[in-house]
Amino acid sequence: MLHRVRALVPTIAAFAVLAMPAQAGEQLSKAEFRDTLMDVMQANSTDHLCLRTLEDGGFRTGLSAQSCDYFNYVDLVYDAYQANPDQLQSILDEEAARLLSIMTAGVDQSDFDQRLVIQMRGADFVATATKPGEPPIAARAFTEDLQAVLMLDSAETLSTVSVETLKAQGLSEDEAFQIAIGNTRDRMGAVSSQSYDNMTVLSSENGLISGELSLPETCSASSEDAYYFIYDYNGVLKADSDNLVGVSKLLSIARGMSKDDASVTSSVVRCQSGEWDQFWPRRRESAALSSGVMPG
């Protein structure tokens, strides 16, 4: 089972950081900060940790080479460092201690059916989420390059859920996804919607905004057509279909961030007439897939 340590990222501030080029030589880059954090974690642990960098800017870790089960992302703590670069060591020590504490405690599976949520992830996430010989995680194709992934929500982590775990909890995949729709809506928290250059930047109080796309009301016969790009774990860009300037800018941002491996997903999806499809990139003529992720 994989666990993503929660990182809530302020929408406008985080997007500005992603969109602006870094000024070399002044501070650690995000990659340098991540690598230094990994070094501090190992230095502060008596275990020989599993520590592996990820192409999306995060890193994978665990208490041993056999349990490299945590996906960690440094967006929020890196923002704190950028705001207070003189506090680098204390920020690293505090974050390392927090992550080590989470790994040591493990995952709480109490109230399982009340904490199941849906999060959108790229297909590459699903491909790397299961180690050889392990049961597959519970995930379903949403569009060509986007997967709806079942996760167990808690204050500090989001944990992937295996098909085997669902069976142990007495749930079929269909039942679990149906339950997770309501939970995602209920656990989302307040949704922030801020205008940004002919687009809208969405985030949620509890860091679950990517799950907004799984809710039936987001794309229905009565909803407005729109384009979406999940650029961060708690950041979604939206452009209404009738705003051609906004759509063009959203596509430009998606192309740029995807090229630099700076975004959580690498595709733009579209809600049109109550159906989801992948607008960019189009890799097959039959790219359009209806939202058949959810049962019923």
- Rounded to 5 degrees, φ, ψ at 145 are -110, 10
Annotate 239-266 with DSSP letters as a single string.
Answer: EETT-HHHHHHHHHHHHHHHHTT-SS--
**28-42, 94-108, 193-207, 235-249: least confident range:** 94-108
pLDDT tens, position by position, 209-267: 999 999 999 999 999 999 999 998 899 999 999 999 999 999 999 999 999 888 889 99
The three-point CA angle 124-263-279 to 5° equals 75
Cβ-count burial of 58 within 10 angstroms (0-12 exposed, 13-18 middle, 19+ buried)? Answer: buried
Which tokens hold the place of 265? 């997903």
State the first-to-last Cα distance of the chain, in angstroms, to the nearest integer: 27
pLDDT tens, position by position, 188-221: 999 999 999 999 999 999 999 999 999 999 999 9
Domain spans of the chain, in order of start:
3-105, 112-187, 191-280
Of 194, 189, 145, the C-alpha closest to 15 is 194
> How many residues are listed for the chain in this entry?
296
Rounded distance between C-alpha atoms, residue 141 and residue 247, angstroms: 24
User: What average pLDDT does the segment 21-34 reach?
Assistant: 74
Phi-psi region of 60 (alpha: psi -120 to 50; beta: other; left: phi over 0): beta
Q: Which residues contact 125 (CB under 8 A, 6 or more apart)?
A: 147, 149
How high is the pLDDT of residue 16?
38
CA 83 to chain centre: 23
Which tokens hold the place of 116? 């199941």
Question: What Cα–Cα distance (Å) separates residue 10 from each residue in 76, 78, 190, 214, 230?
Answer: 8, 12, 13, 22, 14
- Rounded to 5 degrees, φ, ψ at 217 are -70, -15
Q: Which residues contact 78 (CB under 8 A, 6 or more apart)?
A: 30, 33, 34
Cβ atoms of 228 and 240 within 8 Å: the answer is no
Residue 68 confidence class, pLDDT cut points 50, 70, 90? confident
How high is the pLDDT of residue 56?
72
Q: What percent of the chain has pLDDT over 70?
A: 86
Cβ atoms of 91 and 76 within 8 Å: the answer is no
Helix (H, G, I), strand (E, B) or coil at 189: coil
Cβ atoms of 9 and 232 within 8 Å: the answer is yes
Predicted TM-score of the model (pTM): 0.78
Rounded distance between C-alpha atoms, residue 211 and residue 149, angstroms: 9
Cβ atoms of 57 and 73 within 8 Å: the answer is yes
